[in-house]
């Protein structure tokens, strides 16, 4: 019998930067002993809905475009309304990550959108669980959670850099930490007696 928790990473990325984070989240899932399935939601026709239905946890990821989740990610959100109607994802764990060009970039709004979306599905939101980095005079601008957000992993990619270098390693590591945390939480949730 395999008790390995299944964690799906459902993401959109227009230009590859958020995809880098999706891969980092998946690495964190695998390192923590979970099984990761990465699902691009860009094309609604090819989304692996079965993998999402089977997952113990789903981690959502979107770039921040115009201060909100991207259009394709919102289309995915709307396409889950049939699942919502039957509350098919109820009691799965959920978490999120986003990425933008500016340090703030209003990406908190994307995280709020994702957490409300998860709540509509009666999922249980898992926070980042990494203390704020770089908030004092001796701070390291390359520390984990350098933007100091707690709802999820929030990365920043310089607008003039490709996904080969942006977002920087600290943001990739923050995303990896999120994947590990959700996996550990899913294991606890799986083992909890009712």
Ligand X SMILES: Cc1cc2nc3c(=O)[nH]c(=O)nc-3n(C[C@H](O)[C@H](O)[C@H](O)COP(=O)(O)O)c2cc1C
Structure tokens given for 36: 């990761």
Q: How far is the CB of 65 from ligand X (least distance, A)?
A: 4
Among 37, 78, 35, which Cα is nearest to 183's? 35
Q: Where does this chain touch ligand X (CB under 6 A) — which range of 9-17, 36-44, 74-82, 184-192?
A: 9-17
Choose between 98 and 145: whose C-beta lies nearer to ligand X. 98
Show the site string, 143-182: x = touches ligand X by CB under 6 A, - = not: --------------x-x-----------------------
Report which residue's Cβ sits closest to ligand X: 105
Choose between 22 and 123: whose C-beta lies nearer to ligand X. 22
- The contacts of residue 7 (CB under 8 Å, 6+ apart) are 29, 34, 35, 36, 37, 55, 56, 57, 58, 59, 179, 182, 183, 186
Q: In a 10 Å sphere around its CB, with 0-12 CB exposed, 13-18 middle and 19+ buried, how is residue 192 labelled?
A: exposed
CB 36 within 8 Å of CB 4: no
Q: Where does this chain touch ligand X (CB under 6 A) — which range of 15-23, 33-41, 47-55, 124-132?
A: 15-23
In the region spanning residues 73 to 102, those forming contacts with ligand X, defined by CB under 6 A, are 99-102
Choose between 11 and 89: whose C-beta lies nearer to ligand X. 11
Residue 135 binds to ligand X (criterion: CB under 6 A): no
- The residues with which 37 forms a beta bridge, in sequence order, are 8
Choose between 40 and 184: whose C-beta lies nearer to ligand X. 40
């Amino acid at each position: 019998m395999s008790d390995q928790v299944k964690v799906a990473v459902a993401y959109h990325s227009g230009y590859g930067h958020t995809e880098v984070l999706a891969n980092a989240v998946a690495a964190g899932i695998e390192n923590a002993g979970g099984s990761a399935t990465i699902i691009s939601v860009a094309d609604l026709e090819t989304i692996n809905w079965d993998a999402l239905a089977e997952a113990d946890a789903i981690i959502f990821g979107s770039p921040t475009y115009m201060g909100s989740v991207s259009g394709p990610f919102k289309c995915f959100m709307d396409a889950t309304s049939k699942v919502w109607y039957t509350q098919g994802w109820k009691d799965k764990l959920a978490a999120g990550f986003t990425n933008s060009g500016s340090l703030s970039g209003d990406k908190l709004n994307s995280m709020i959108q994702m957490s409300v979306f998860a709540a509509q599905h009666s999922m249980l939101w898992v926070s980042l669980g990494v203390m704020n980095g770089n908030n004092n005079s001796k701070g390291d601008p390359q520390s984990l959670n350098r933007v100091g957000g707690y709802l999820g992993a929030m990365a920043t990619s310089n607008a003039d850099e490709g996904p080969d270098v942006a977002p920087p390693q600290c943001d990739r590591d923050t995303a990896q930490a999120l994947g590990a945390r959700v996996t550990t939480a899913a294991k606890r949730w799986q083992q909890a007696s009712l």
